[in-house]
Structure 1
């Protein structure tokens, strides 16, 4: 199992400042997937590339539900695709490369702290 540095900043943002509308039926699923991505992001919220299987393990959601949540998070402008060359630098086999995501921490910083 590969270990990576955990970004407390990205996780804190996902838990406290990410503007996921509470009135959405899928708010809980979106939030837990966002926290899963944040667990893999750097301190600026970039370059998170966990596999769908890893996110399913974290969230207890199906891979189909994960894909739906990722699409919805993109629509809400909370994540966007990251540079595929960065993922390729870490995962050499093209057939094993997950999609990479950047969290929109800089666009949605609500001034939450500690």
Structure 2
């Protein structure tokens, strides 16, 4: 995976820059359905592949976690990115990156979650 920054993003597509690749790298939500949006200046991890025209395209884009202090202990909705055993990761449009979720700290969850499950705050 490469490290880069969002140079520009509008609606459902934009461009990344990375010291590891020369020029712009196209990024689109169609190729990254787990994302809802990106903002200029976001730091991201991503893989590069060539599109049908031979241009660089970012896939598996993962925004890096931002400081969460303003969010704790607030409530946010999102979706499960992955879940194995008793823990996993949730994504939310409120944050860049992954949020950890575990059954031990969430006794209201009666069973393990599955990738793609929508999650809402309790109460």
TM-score by length of 2: 0.25
Higher strand share: 2
Higher helix share: 1
With CA pairs under 8 Å and 6+ residues apart, which has the higher RCO, 1 or 2?
1
Bigger Rg over Cα: 2
TM-score by length of 1: 0.27
